[in-house]
């Protein structure tokens, strides 16, 4: 059992989520991962496209509104339970699971922050009939989320948006766009607001989907806005609150991604143990060699540590702990690092068989490399951690002096 799952069990008493509300979605995710995702993930990658129908099926099964309250038709879960569910799916395929992470985060945000009129979109989103996307990153900005150049200009009818967004999960099929834009050029984070727009309106253009190392089930791509109109009722988060709202969502996603990396590493470790236990070499099984045993023991130790960091981060985010941002940065940084080295090690002890598509290790290796960039690259996690480290010691980080 992975360190993440062990940590989840040991901390369940402290969770604000009831056992019933946790177990039902996890059971759904486990069945869906086994019956739909695992048998089709390799094919989805070969087709290089987001499997839209499978996303709809997952939502209809109960995985489309995990963070929305029951009063609005959701499951009423918190970040810890979301991490449990998405880790279960990521054990089969991170790319598919991350589409649902983004969608659920937006559904939850609309439930928390949206107006009564915006709440009317929730039923279709929870049912998977409409897919949500989070539009923050830009082609020239990368992880510098405050340096938004997409502009929202007020006019007599509301707002007009111009600019471009990049590296958007589900860009190829998204229907509901949370677009972060600068309303006061030159004001930095203070001027950032968010708008909820339909993807098919005039002035909104999908750019070409990305060809990547792997993970094409994410449907990653971009959007271009050219005089796209937004009515006053489509303002989602006002200026002055947009950047903070975006960062809250990113903290949650970082904790969830850490849990997903633990799940992929656990799958790789299980596969390596099974393979080396059943494969003979030089008159004994590969697993009988101490070098193999110790290599996998190191993977197991790293997995246990990453699991506890991921669990702590999810709980900190869920309970709005003052250190939640740093906890999420620690968890994502460490989990992506050890998953990368650990999956590689598991592949190595399996020999060339680790490359074969009947094992998920190659897919997970691509997935964890993608995870190192999701919601802020590893270097950004170091910025977050170092900033807190120096601030606590009463000094200013050198890079910001």
How many other C-beta atoms lie within 10 A of the C-beta of residue 378? 17
- If you average pLDDT over residues 14-31, what whole number do you get? 63
Q: How far, in whole angstroms, is CA 284 from its chain's centroid? A: 42
pLDDT in tens, 26-36: 999 999 999 99
Kindly tell me if the per-residue pLDDT of 295 is higher than 50.
Answer: yes
Mean pLDDT to the nearest integer, 98-118: 97
| Cβ neighbourhood burial of 294 (10 Å; 0-12, 13-18, 19+) | exposed
Helix (H) / strand (E) containing 66: none
Distance CA 131, CA 57 (A): 12
Q: List pLDDT tens digits, range 48-86.
A: 999 999 999 999 999 999 999 999 999 999 999 999 999
**Which pLDDT score is estimated for 20?**
35
Helix or strand holding residue 100 (H, E): helix 94-113
String of DSSP letters for 222-275: EEEEEEEEE-GGGEEE-TTTHHHHHHHHHHHHHHHHHHHHHHHHHHHHHHHHHH
Compute the distance between CA of residue 163 and CA of residue 389 in angstroms, rounded to an integer.
36
Coil vs helix vs strand at 63: helix
Question: What confidence category does residue 109 fall into, taking pLDDT thresholds of 50, 70 and 90?
Answer: very high
> How high is the pLDDT of residue 290?
87
Task: Give Dmax (Cα) for the chain.
Answer: 81
Domains of the chain: 3-131 (1.10.540.10), 133-240 (2.40.110.10), 243-400 (1.20.140.10)
Distance between CA 49 and CA 384 in Å, rounded?
Answer: 34
Instruction: Please tell me the pTM assigned to this model.
Output: 0.90
Local structure of 386: helix, strand or coil: helix
3-state secondary structure of 377: coil
User: Quick one: which H or E segment has residue 339?
Assistant: helix 324-349
Rounded Cα distance between 168 and 139, Å, is 11
Q: How far apart are CA 393 and CA 395, in angstroms?
A: 6
Question: Cα separation of 350 and 317, whole Å?
Answer: 37
Q: Is 138 helix (H, G, I), strand (E, B) or coil?
A: coil
Distance, CA of 207 to CA of 285 (rounded, Å): 51
- Contact, 260 vs 87, CB < 8 A? yes
CA distance 210 to 95: 13
pLDDT tens figures, 233-259: 999 999 989 999 999 999 999 999 999
Cα distance between residue 266 and residue 337, in whole Å: 14
Residue pair 148/138 in contact (Cβ under 8 Å)? The answer is yes
Q: What is the C-alpha to C-alpha distance for residues 379 and 401, in angstroms, rounded to an integer?
A: 19
């Amino acid at each position: 059992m992975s360190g993440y799952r062990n940590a989840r069990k040991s901390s369940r008493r402290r969770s604000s989520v009831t056992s019933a509300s946790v177990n039902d979605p996890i059971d759904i995710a486990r069945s869906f991962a086994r019956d739909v995702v695992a048998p089709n993930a390799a094919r989805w990658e070969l087709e290089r496209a987001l499997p839209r129908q499978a996303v709809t099926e997952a939502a209809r099964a109960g995985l489309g509104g995990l963070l929305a309250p029951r009063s609005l038709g959701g499951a009423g879960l918190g970040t810890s339970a979301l991490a449990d569910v998405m880790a279960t799916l990521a054990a089969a395929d991170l790319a598919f699971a991350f589409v649902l992470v983004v969608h659920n985060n937006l559904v939850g945000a609309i439930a928390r922050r949206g107006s009564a009129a915006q709440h009317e979109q929730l039923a279709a989103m929870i049912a998977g009939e409409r897919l949500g996307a989070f539009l923050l990153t830009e082609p020239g900005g990368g992880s510098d989320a405050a340096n938004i150049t997409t502009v929202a200009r007020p006019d007599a009818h509301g707002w007009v948006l111009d600019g471009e967004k990049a590296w958007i999960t589900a860009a190829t099929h998204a229907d509901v766009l949370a677009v972060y834009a600068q309303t006061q050029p030159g004001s930095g984070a203070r001027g950032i607001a968010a708008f909820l727009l339909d993807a098919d309106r005039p002035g909104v253009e999908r750019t070409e989907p990305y060809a990547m190392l792997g993970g094409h089930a994410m449907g990653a791509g971009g959007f271009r806005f050219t005089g796209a109109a937004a009515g006053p009722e489509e303002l989602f988060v006002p200026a002055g609150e947009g950047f903070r709202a975006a960062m809250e969502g990113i903290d949650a996603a970082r904790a969830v991604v850490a849990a997903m990396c633990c799940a992929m590493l656990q799958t790789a470790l299980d596969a390596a143990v099974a393979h080396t236990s059943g494969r003979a070499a030089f008159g004994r099984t590969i697993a009988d060699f101490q070098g193999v045993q110790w290599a996998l023991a190191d993977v197991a130790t790293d997995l246990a540590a990453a699991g506890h960091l991921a669990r702590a981060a999810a709980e900190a985010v869920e309970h709005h702990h003052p250190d939640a941002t740093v906890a999420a940065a620690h968890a994502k940084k460490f989990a992506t690092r050890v998953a990368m080295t650990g999956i590689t090690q598991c592949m190595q002890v399996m020999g060339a068989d680790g490359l074969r598509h009947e094992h998920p290790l190659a897919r997970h290796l691509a997935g964890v490399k993608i995870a190192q960039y999701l919601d802020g690259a590893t270097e950004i996690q170091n910025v977050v951690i170092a900033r807190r480290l120096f601030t606590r010691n009463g000094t200013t980080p050198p890079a910001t002096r």
